[in-house]
């Protein structure tokens, strides 16, 4: 008798719900884990079972590897879905999962250690002939040798944490004078946030677009890319709005970047869903910056235009099934945009606004998708990421998608706490955004504008 499939979800919030839904559709049981702060969370209620794994702070619960693993073993799970963030890219955790003969829904620990480390990923990409940003060969030995490399490359440069993520552990340096203090600061931030202070240097690309390619690969060696996502709308190197297809890619460039991503995925025998991130400069040159070896926050826009359920595919692949489609089967259908809805106050420097949600009106209609874990009466805890919902629209054209997003944002009401809904609504009316003319510096410039107007 084959063992019954059962998945532990090592995450919280909307992504935990996303995985529960996919598993249920596949007829697979789920186990939720939660912290003391999340007792009233929807993932706890919607999973077949739920286990408390510790205290409020992430390090006492969602980042506690032994607690998560014990929960999986004691409930008889044969697979773990990590979602994004938390332990999703932690090779030590994945190795522990493997040793317990539990299937990790993602690549293996060796792959994660190799390509998840950003400095090592650069070396691998380079050896495969995939262009990378000019920078240091490997991690910096110390501040002085870093300074020499920065001088050689020429300012501005970026100092980046090799284990960094979520836009943290990155500093831009514009001169020799700034270098040493930026090095110390970033090293400390990397140490405290990621437990690894290794740093590397990249030339700072002026006003780039962030273009990433969704990859999916099975255990039989089939690798397919599901086109790009343009994630250039960022605040402090953290994505805020994503869309696909990218307004700046033509067919040729789309094919080139897609092929580069496939080449890299094949070179490392990649299995499961992953994303290769690239920067594209104003001349159309593209450079690999990192790979995320997990499902991404913005995966729904790819699902919208391809009609493929990425999380169900992830689960199927982990259980040994082959991809149900070939490269030639996947086509771009229409246009999709995602707005990240955060519990934060854009008028107060995007300060997080945890607290009780008194009431909600959800948007709806054709081509609208809302991935969220909030409900009226829900209390947003102060301990985790401030993202509380993802609003995704899908329409035949980009113009129609923008109009749909405006209406959806207008009809999305959250009472009790401040959110960035109105701010997103303003961006949907910005002439440059509407023209598709924006780069990773857009939001910083937009904020200066909004602040000036609010002072008038």
User: Which of the residues are catalytic?
Assistant: 294
Q: State the minimum distance, in angstroms, from the CB of residue 123 to Mg ion.
A: 17
CA distances from 20 to 27, 62, 98, 380 (A): 10, 17, 22, 20
Q: State the Cα–Cα distance between residues 431 and 442, nearest whole angstrom.
A: 12
Question: Residue 203 or 406: which CB sits closer to ligand ADP?
Answer: 203
385: partner contacted, choices ligand ADP, Mg ion, none (Cβ within 5-8 A by kind): ligand ADP
Q: Are strands 199-203 and 157-165 parallel, antiparallel or unpaired?
A: antiparallel
Determine, following the binding rule CB under 6 A, whether residue 158 of this chain makes contact with ligand ADP: yes
Residue 194: contacted member of ligand ADP, Mg ion, none (CB under 5 to 8 Å, by partner type): ligand ADP
Closer residue to ligand ADP in complex, CB, 210/335: 210
Q: Give min distance, CB of 410 to ligand ADP, in A.
A: 25
x/- map, 271-290, Mg ion, by CB under 5 A: ------x-------------
- Give the range of 6-14, 30-38, 103-111, 233-241 binding ligand ADP by CB under 6 A: 233-241
Nearest approach in angstroms of CB 3 to ligand ADP is 31
d(CA 268, CA 254): 22
* Binding residue (CB under 6 A) for ligand ADP from 30, 296, 418, 419: 296
Residue span 274-293 as binding mask against ligand ADP, x where in contact by CB under 6 A, dash where not:
---x-x---------xx-x-
Would you count residue 204 as binding ligand ADP (CB under 6 A)? yes
Q: What are phi and psi of 254, to 5 degrees?
A: -60, -45
Site for ligand ADP in 56-115 (CB under 6 A): 84-85, 89
How near is the Cβ of 200 to ligand ADP at its closest, in Å? 10
Nearer to ligand ADP, 28 or 190 (CB): 190
Contact flag: residue 119 with ligand ADP (CB under 6 A): no
Which of 53, 96, 205, 223 touches ligand ADP by CB under 6 A?
205
For residue 234, the partner it binds in Mg ion, ligand ADP, none, with Cβ less than 5 to 8 A by kind, is ligand ADP
| SS3 labels along the chain | CCCCCEEEECCCHHHHHHHHHHHHHCCCEEEEEEEHHHCCCHHHHHCCEEEEEECCCHHHCCCCHHHHHHHHHHCCCCEEECCCCCCCCCHHHHHHHHHCCCEECCCCHHHHHHHHCHHHHHHHHHHCCCCECCECCCCCCCHHHHHHHHHHHCCCEEEEEEEEECCEEEEEECCHHHHHHHHHHHHHHHHHHHCCCCEEEEECCCCCEEEEEEEEECCCCCEEEEEEEEEEEEECCEEEEEEECCCCCCHHHHHHHHHHHHHHHHHCCCCEEEEEEEEECCCCCEEEEEEECCCCCCHHHHHHHHCCCHHHHHHHHHCCCCCCCCHHHCCCCCEEEEEEEECEEHHHCCEECCEECCEEECCCCCCEEEEECCCCCCEECCCCCCEEEEEEEEECCHHHHHHHHHHHHHCCEEECCCCCHHHHHHHCCCHHHHHCCCCCCHHHHHHHHHHHHHHC
Distance of closest approach, residue 177 Cβ to ligand ADP, in angstroms? 20
Q: Which does 238 bind (CB under 5 to 8 A by kind): ligand ADP, Mg ion, none?
A: ligand ADP
Cβ closest to ligand ADP, residue 166 vs residue 436 = 166
Is the CB of 226 or the CB of 231 nearer to Mg ion? 231
CA 46 to chain centre: 24
Among residues 144, 115, 140, which one has the least CA distance to residue 127? 115
Among 81, 122, 210, 369, binds ligand ADP (CB under 6 A): 210
Q: How many residues bind ligand ADP (CB under 6 A)?
A: 32
Q: x/- site string to ligand ADP, residues 339 to 378, per CB under 6 A? A: ----------------------------------------
209 binds ligand ADP (CB under 6 A): no
Q: What separation, in Å, do the N-terminal and C-terminal C-alpha atoms of the chain show? A: 72
165 binds ligand ADP (CB under 6 A): yes
Among 82, 107, 146, 208, binds ligand ADP (CB under 6 A): 208
Interface with ligand ADP includes 234 (CB under 6 A)? yes
Residues at the interface with Mg ion (CB under 5 A): 277
Residues lying near ligand ADP in the complex (CB under 6 A) are found at 84-85, 89, 133, 158, 160, 163-167, 170, 194, 202, 204-205, 208, 210, 234, 237-239, 277, 279, 289-290, 292, 296-298, 385, 440
């Amino acid at each position: 008798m084959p063992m019954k499939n059962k998945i532990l979800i090592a995450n919280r919030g909307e992504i935990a719900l996303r995985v529960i839904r996919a598993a249920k559709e596949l007829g697979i049981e789920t186990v939720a884990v939660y912290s003391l702060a999340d007792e009233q969370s929807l993932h706890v209620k919607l999973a077949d079972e739920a286990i408390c794994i510790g205290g409020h702070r992430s390090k006492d619960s969602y980042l506690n590897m032994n607690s998560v693993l014990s929960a999986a073993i004691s409930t008889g799970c044969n697979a773990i879905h990590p979602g994004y963030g938390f332990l999703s890219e932690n090779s030590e955790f994945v190795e522990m999962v493997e040793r317990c003969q539990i299937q990790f829904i993602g690549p293996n620990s060796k792959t994660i250690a190799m390509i998840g480390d950003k400095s090592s990923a650069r070396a691998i990409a380079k050896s495969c002939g995939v262009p990378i940003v000019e920078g240091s060969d490997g991690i910096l030995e110390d501040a002085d040798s870093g300074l020499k490399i920065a001088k050689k490359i020429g300012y501005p440069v970026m100092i980046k944490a090799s284990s960094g993520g979520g836009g943290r552990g990155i500093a831009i340096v514009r001169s020799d004078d700034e270098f040493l203090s930026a090095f110390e600061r970033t090293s400390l931030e990397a140490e405290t946030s990621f437990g690894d202070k290794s740093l590397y240097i990249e030339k700072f690309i002026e006003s780039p677009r962030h273009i990433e390619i969704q990859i999916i690969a099975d255990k039989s060696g089939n690798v397919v890319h599901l086109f790009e996502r343009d994630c250039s709308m960022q605040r402090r190197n953290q994505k805020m709005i994503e869309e696909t297809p990218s307004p700046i890619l033509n067919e040729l460039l789309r094919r080139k970047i897609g092929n580069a991503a496939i080449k890299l995925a094949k070179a490392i025998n990649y299995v499961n869903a992953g994303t290769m991130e690239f920067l594209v400069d104003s001349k159309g040159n593209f450079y690999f910056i990192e790979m995320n070896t997990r499902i991404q926050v913005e995966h729904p826009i790819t699902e919208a235009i391809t009609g493929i359920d990425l999380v169900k595919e992830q689960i199927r692949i982990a259980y040994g099934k082959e991809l149900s489609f070939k490269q030639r089967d996947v086509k771009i259908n229409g246009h999709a945009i995602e707005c990240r809805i955060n519990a934060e106050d854009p008028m107060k420097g995007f300060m997080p606004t945890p607290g009780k949600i008194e009431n909600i009106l959800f948007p709806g209609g054709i081509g609208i998708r809302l991935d969220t874990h909030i409900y009226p009466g829900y209390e947003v805890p102060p301990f985790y990421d401030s993202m509380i919902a993802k609003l995704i629209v899908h329409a035949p054209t980009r113009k129609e998608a923008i109009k749909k997003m405006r209406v959806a944002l207008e009809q999305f009401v959250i009472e009790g706490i401040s959110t960035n809904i109105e701010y997103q609504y303003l961006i949907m009316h910005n002439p440059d955004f509407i023209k598709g003319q924006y780069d990773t510096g857009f939001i910083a410039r937009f904020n200066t504008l909004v602040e000036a107007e609010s002072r008038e």
